[in-house]
Amino acid sequence: MDVTVWANSRTSPIKTCEDAKLRDAPTLLYPAGNNHGQAGWDIGLLYQDAGDLGRRLGDVREAKGRVGRLSINSHGAPGVFDLDGSNPASADQNERLLNVKTMGNRFNSQLGFIKMQLAPNATVLFMGCNLGQGQPGSVFLETLSKTLFQDILVVAFTTTGVSMQQYRAGERCTEPGMRDTSFDNPASSPSQEAARYQNGALFSLPWAAETSAHAKTAKNGVILKNPDAPQSFGPEYIVGKWDVEIGSWSGLFAFESTGGLAGRVYWMDNTSMQKHEGFWSVSAGAVSWQFTDDPPSFKRTFMALIPLMPTVNGSILPSGVYKMMKRD
């Protein structure tokens, strides 16, 4: 049976425990997790550079079998990945980083050796912020997947990732996993990071995987999933769960269909998760909804124009705006 490996470069923000199985959630399946880490990982590695990563994966293959899913956790930028964990002062120092040019010369043999340790049709996730973003990210994935990583599903993310509260009790290491986010840039300070994820908002985000909203994937030179591409949907797309921001408030809207283009909607905050009921319907090119616990003197109508997008910037009548993002 193929094994799964979470590999951290020497400068990555987390140090995954060697036994990477999610300790307190043995029944969860990848890509799910709990508030401490992601399920579905077998082994955690800390490597020093690309050559060392290949050697350590070779040891795993010899002891336990080929690697069916590999996550490489290091720093990134659009089309650029710090595979060696060298943490250069600038992403412009491309000769020290993995990119389209260096994958064909400096990192050619190291990547080839890493590929030898992988199972046929394996998945490799590059956990580097913004690596898959835009045209540079697409070219990176297309080139790697049609050359050195043929037949491998190669994954990168168009936004930043975040890891928090993952330390394993009683040990000097962390549970595996990184959360997908909707942010284009890392937080500039610990206080901004805390503000982004206050009131439990961090735990409403999915664990990063090839199926995540901001994952871009490629195989044999073809982009298979592209979150950069404009996407729009009809009114039925409203059904499901959405993360919501209204000013400084954040919470969840959950839409259910009762048949046709209408149904129930609930709002919940990120602390109590108590359901507050309302109703939604479609008319005049928009989805609109109200909540029954609004007082008559403060009755709000939320509007989302059709076609819907994975991120909706909508209006609240009689005044106000909101932003909501579709969950996976």
The 10s digit of each residue's pLDDT in 303-323 is 999 999 888 999 999 999 999
pLDDT-derived band of residue 190, with 50, 70 and 90 as boundaries?
confident
Quote the tokens at residue 45: 């590695």
Least trusted range by pLDDT, from 82-86, 184-188, 256-260, 292-296: 184-188
Element (H, E) at 279: strand 276-283
Element (H, E) at 194: helix 190-196
pLDDT grade, residue 205 (50/70/90)? confident
**Which amino acid, residue 68?**
G
Which has the minimum average pLDDT: 10-24, 233-247, 268-282?
Answer: 268-282
Comparing CA positions, the residue from 118, 160, 161, 153 lying closest to residue 224 is: 153
> Is 322 exposed, middle or buried, given 0-12, 13-18 or 19+ CB atoms closer than 10 A?
buried
Full set of structural domains in the chain with CATH: 3-225 (no CATH), 235-326 (2.40.128)
Total number of residues shown for the chain: 328
Q: How confident is the model at residue 183 (pLDDT cuts 50, 70, 90)?
A: confident
State the Cα–Cα distance between residues 182 and 14, nearest whole angstrom. 20
Statement: the pTM of the whole predicted model exceeds 0.85 = no
| Interval 139-182: pLDDT, tens | 999 999 999 999 999 999 999 998 877 999 889 999 999 999 88
> Exposed, middle or buried, 133 (CB in 10 Å: 0-12/13-18/19+)?
buried
Residue 136 token pair: 């540079």
> CA-CA distances (angstroms) from residue 281 to 237, 253, 289?
12, 15, 6
Residues 114-139 have a mean pLDDT of: 96
Residue-wise pLDDT tens digits, 49-100: 999 999 999 999 999 999 999 999 999 999 999 999 987 765 555 688 999 9
**Which of 50, 146, 155 minimizes the C-alpha distance to 106?**
50
